Amino acid sequence: MTKKTKITYWVLTGVFSAFMMMASIPDVLSTPEAMAMFKHLGYPVFLLPFIGVAKLLGIVAVLIPGFP
């Protein structure tokens, strides 16, 4: 893997992780906007914090280098 490819990979992975983290924070905090969206989609609101935590764990899994 060339240095340019590694840099591109980590930049894109960092941007993706940042967007996922920004999307998971309202879920973990159960903000009214996130709850309204969940209700509109027909999902039970009690799942919202669990999905937020799952997103955060997914970010950690993506960022650990060499994790199979």
How is residue 42 annotated by DSSP?
T
Kindly tell me the burial class for residue 28, based on how many C-beta atoms sit within 10 Å of its own C-beta (0-12, 13-18, 19 or more).
middle
Closest CA to 29 of 14, 58, 57, 51: 51
Asked if residues 49 and 30 have their Cβ atoms less than 8 Å apart, the reply is yes
User: Which segments of the chain does DSSP mark as H helices, in order?
Assistant: 3-29, 32-41, 48-63
Q: pTM to 2 decimals? A: 0.82
Full pLDDT tens readout for the chain, 68 residues: 899 999 999 999 999 999 999 999 999 999 999 999 999 999 999 999 999 999 999 999 999 987 66
With H, G, I as helix, E, B as strand and everything else as coil, classify residue 31.
coil
